[in-house]
């Protein structure tokens, strides 16, 4: 193990702390949940849960098959378009709906 010489810049130490504590991930997930709530509508928010964002694909857990089918077939394109337009900073390129019957709504 190599010893460091002299003090480290505060920015470097803070970046390491944020990474170790997972703060950026937690904050990012909060932003995803907020964006999802803003575009999904009350009916779907109560039946869904944001799982995360992987390689630009927003993963949404859905509590039942009919809601999953409706979201994927009839609402996905509009929701995705709105997310890209109103929340471009999240860099969402697609949405994937997954059946998750044991989720808690947000």
Domain boundaries, the chain: 10-99
pTM over 0.75: no
User: How confident is the prediction for the chain on average, in pLDDT?
Assistant: 83
**Which CATH class, in words, describes the domain spanning 10-99?**
alpha beta
CA distances from 103 to 35, 62, 68, 79 (A): 19, 8, 13, 21
pLDDT at 96: 97
> Residues 46-96: pLDDT tens digits?
999 999 988 999 999 999 999 999 999 999 999 999 999 999 988 999 999
pLDDT at 106: 47
User: What's the pLDDT band for 29 if we cut at 50, 70, 90?
Assistant: confident
pLDDT at 23: 43
Residue 13 has pLDDT above 70, yes or no: no
Closest C-alpha to 87, from 35, 48, 24, 34: 35
């Amino acid at each position: 193990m190599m010893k460091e010489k002299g003090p480290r810049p505060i920015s470097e130490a803070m970046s390491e702390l944020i990474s170790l504590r997972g703060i950026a991930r937690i904050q990012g997930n909060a932003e995803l949940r907020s964006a999802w709530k803003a575009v999904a509508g009350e009916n779907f928010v109560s039946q869904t849960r944001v799982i995360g964002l992987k390689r630009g694909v927003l993963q949404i857990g859905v509590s039942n098959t009919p809601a999953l089918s409706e979201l994927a077939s009839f609402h996905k394109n509009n929701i995705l378009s709105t997310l890209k337009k109103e929340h471009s900073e999240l860099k969402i390129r697609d949405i994937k709906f997954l059946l998750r019957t044991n989720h808690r709504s947000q």
